[in-house]
Structure 1
Amino acid sequence: MKIAIASDHSGFSLKKEVKIFLEAEGYEVQDYGTYNEESSDLSDFVYPAALAVARGKADRGIFIDGVGYGSALIANKIYGLYAAVCQDPFCAKLARLHSNTNVLCIGAKIIGSGIALDIVNTWLTTDFLVDTKKYKLRVDKINEISEKHLKKLSDI
């Protein structure tokens, strides 16, 4: 599985740890930056990484900033992306089981690396409950909203 990873300066240190973990687990990691702790704008790195997921160049995205919400706001503006901010493994599990998210957003100022790695592992190893009518219907409704309000990348 190919994972697009990105962060701003506040998420850089945690991103390095997550990247090491992912590579050790056999994932192909595409690092979109930032590459240091100098002050930076989140969108300069998350946006290209999000586009990689939307265009199918990566299967999923993991974005790390101060609290996770900035990354989620950016990712959720793009057709075909479904980002969730997760601060514990339980939320990560539900984000996959019930909502079929393809982008995970983590707040480096909120959680430490130990829990972050548990969140990443849980999110990557949990499958969507596609055979459960309730959750499939929920995701279908979300997709309908995207169809109404977001432009497909091919139409831009």
Structure 2
Amino acid sequence: MKTISRTASKAAAVSVAALCLTFGLTANADAATYDGQDAISSGCASSAITAASTNIAMNDGTVVGQIQLRYSTGCRTTWARLLSYRQPTGTAQVYRNSDYTLYQCGSSLSWVGSLGAYSCYTPMVNDAGVTSVAIGSAYYDASTSTGGFATAAY
């Protein structure tokens, strides 16, 4: 009886390990296919959360925007979203730390009433098993911009 139990245990362990490897590799390969794609048209935005965010402020502390690192739980991807509260100009970048892949959006932003801000979002990067950050800048007025503000890595 012990021999059968040990054999069954070993077989179960091997099966679980094989399943983990299979699903882990599949998830990473699927996520990589989203590099450079649009979060909304791909459907990835439907499972999005804001994984990290940072206010964008002037030297005097006046908040003029927010940079967000968005994460799709379904696609395992990230992208940057910029909210600019004062001017329709600014930039956002998403940066994958493992291989320095970078996508950006910006210059002329679109008003998004549901967000109460001018906004843009970058193409996505695979975030399965790696980390990314979002970097953004916004304008106080037509000629005064902030430096770059970054989110925490996720």
* TM bin (shorter chain): under 0.3
Higher share in helix: 1
Higher share in strand: 2
Bigger Rg, structure 1 or 2: 2
- What TM-score does the superposition give when structure 1 sets the normalisation length? 0.25
